[in-house]
């Protein structure tokens, strides 16, 4: 037999039941409206995403910057934590894991080493084989798979930094690296370049080039695109020679006693390329773990011996005159680059064999 509640309690019971039914009806009427609102929001979000497209990341790591992407293409900022921390995206103060999308994929990144006193050389390059505007650089990258940037450090000279900033804003073709720009610190600058380039670019090859050589980007791309038996490759115009131990002579090596009478097999400094696996090894190593010799090309060569790389000798990147197969032309062995580079660069560009010959030589 059901329990009979007192009248007062029975009234309260029916009142609670009535309120519960009212709440259920209210929720039932609001739920479709809520679902409709969620649906509208989803549609608007999808339309916005399609219009906005995939975000373009600014390639900026600490005081290192790829100015083409940061100042021409725009986008979110990126913070470089260093190794083994790696890269994170920083958007509006929030650090977000980019899922490996930060490093720009290319066949090769060519870092053209330059200095504050070399504006005439940069003008000559932009007037000859290197595009002088951001759109031209992008088209060259699309055609060859190669990204080109002038690589420069910093100075405490305010006037020089101001002049550099004006040039950056005009051309946007620099990679700014976090190191003091000094000629006697070239080995340190080269290491800083490889580390910064590896952080910014997902490349098959990382190319160090000087700003006083005449280069054929199309032929360089053909060289780098070849299949190779080893993932650890060091491409250059290889040489050996006597160690200079006389302080009065050019190319004096203070640490010559560690080297003996003759240098080991290594590439000339004006241009050489390291494969991705080699540069990855440099990127994760501590700076103070590297032996630094006086000369940059010798320093890099010593690291390559320690890393057990495959030395690939290519004489087409050290031609003294333009030929149907020339990749890089400079006045070897008279100068470590072109003698009087600003003038010679323009002279070579007027020669059809240098600037207009086909990428591949005609079949004989």
pLDDT in tens, 204-260: 999 999 999 999 999 999 999 999 999 999 999 999 989 988 888 888 898 988 888
Share of the chain above pLDDT 70, in %: 74
The answer for residues whose C-beta is within 8 angstroms of residue 161's C-beta and 6 or more apart is 154, 155
- Mean pLDDT, residues 56-78 taken together: 65
Written in H, E and C, the secondary structure of 124-158 is HHHCCCCCCCHHHHHHHHHHHCEEEEEEEEECCCH
Q: Is the pLDDT of residue 364 over 90?
A: no
In whole angstroms, give the CA distance from residue 229 to residue 207.
19
Give DSSP secondary structure letters for 207-252: EEEETTSEE-HHHHHHHHTS--S-SSEEEEEEE--B----TTSTT-
Q: Residues 304-350: pLDDT tens digits?
A: 999 999 999 999 999 999 999 999 999 998 999 999 999 999 999 99
* pLDDT score for 45: 54
More confidently predicted of 36 and 207:
207
The residue-averaged pLDDT of 116-144 equals 97
- pLDDT given at position 28: 52
In terms of Cβ atoms closer than 10 Å to its own Cβ (0-12, 13-18, 19+), residue 303 is buried
pLDDT at 32: 58
Domains of the chain: 63-80+102-353 (3.90.550.50)
Mean pLDDT within 18-41: 54
Select the more confidently predicted residue: 69 or 34.
69
| Tens digit of each residue's pLDDT (9 = 90 or more) over 85-106 | 344 343 333 233 344 447 899 9
- CA-based torsion, 172, 273, 315, 189: positive or negative: positive
What is the residue-averaged pLDDT of the chain? 82
Which residues are within 8 A (CB) of 86 and not within 5 positions of it... i.e. 6 or more apart? none
Strands (E), 161-200: 174-180
Of the pLDDT bands very low, low, confident and very high (cuts 50, 70, 90), residue 272 is very high
- Predicted confidence at residue 309, as pLDDT, reads 97
The total number of residues shown for the chain amounts to 364
- The pLDDT, as a whole number, for residue 38 is 52
pLDDT at 34 over 90: no
Q: Is 58 in contact with 77 (CB distance < 8 Å)?
A: yes
pLDDT digits (tens, 9 = 90+) for 141-192: 999 999 999 999 999 999 999 999 999 999 999 999 999 998 888 999 999 9
Residue 13 has pLDDT above 50, yes or no: no
Do 360 and 222 form a contact (C-beta atoms < 8 A)? yes
- Confidence (pTM): 0.78
Q: Which residues pair with 77 in a beta bridge?
A: 90
Q: Calculate what percentage of the chain has a pLDDT beyond 90.
A: 61
What are the phi and psi torsion angles at 194 (to 5°)?
Answer: -60, -40
Query: What is the pLDDT, as a whole number, of residue 287?
Result: 85
* Other Cβ atoms within 10 Å of 22 Cβ, number: 10
pLDDT in the model for residue 15: 52
């Amino acid at each position: 037999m059901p329990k009979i509640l007192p009248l007062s309690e029975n009234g309260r019971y029916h009142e609670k039941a009535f309120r519960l039914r009212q709440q259920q009806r209210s929720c039932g009427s609001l739920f479709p409206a809520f679902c409709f609102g969620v649906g509208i929001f989803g549609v608007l979000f999808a339309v916005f995403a399609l219009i906005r497209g995939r975000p373009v990341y600014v390639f900026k790591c600490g005081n290192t910057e790829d100015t083409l992407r940061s100042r021409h293409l725009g986008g979110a900022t990126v913070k470089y934590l260093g190794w083994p921390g790696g890269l994170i995206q920083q958007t509006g103060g929030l650090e977000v894991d980019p899922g490996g999308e930060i490093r720009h994929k290319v066949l090769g990144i060519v870092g053209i080493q330059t200095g504050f006193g070399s504006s005439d050389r940069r003008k000559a390059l932009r007037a000859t084989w290197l595009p002088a505007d951001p759109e031209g650089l992008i088209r060259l990258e699309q055609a060859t798979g190669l990204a080109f940037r002038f690589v420069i450090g910093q100075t405490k000279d305010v006037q020089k930094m101001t002049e550099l900033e004006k040039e950056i804003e005009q051309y946007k073709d620099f990679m700014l690296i976090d190191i003091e720009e000094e000629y006697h610190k070239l080995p340190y600058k080269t290491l800083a370049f490889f580390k910064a380039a590896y952080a910014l670019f997902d490349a098959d090859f990382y190319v160090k080039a000087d700003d006083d050589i005449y280069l054929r980007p199309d032929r360089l791309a053909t060289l780098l695109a070849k299949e190779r038996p080893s993932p650890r490759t060091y491409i250059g115009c290889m040489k050996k020679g006597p160690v200079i131990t006389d302080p009065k002579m050019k190319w004096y090596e203070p640490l010559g006693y560690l080297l003996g009478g003759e240098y080991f097999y290594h590439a000339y400094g004006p241009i050489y390329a390291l494969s991705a696996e080699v540069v990855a090894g440099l990127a994760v190593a501590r700076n103070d773990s590297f032996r630094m010799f006086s000369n940059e090309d010798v320093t890099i060569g010593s690291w390559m011996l320690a890393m057990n790389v495959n030395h690939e000798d290519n004489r087409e990147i050290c031609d003294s005159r333009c030929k149907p197969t020339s990749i890089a032309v400079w006045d070897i062995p008279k100068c470590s680059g072109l003698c009087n580079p600003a003038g010679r660069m323009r002279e070579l560009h007027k020669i059809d064999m240098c600037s207009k010959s086909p990428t591949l030589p005609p079949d004989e």
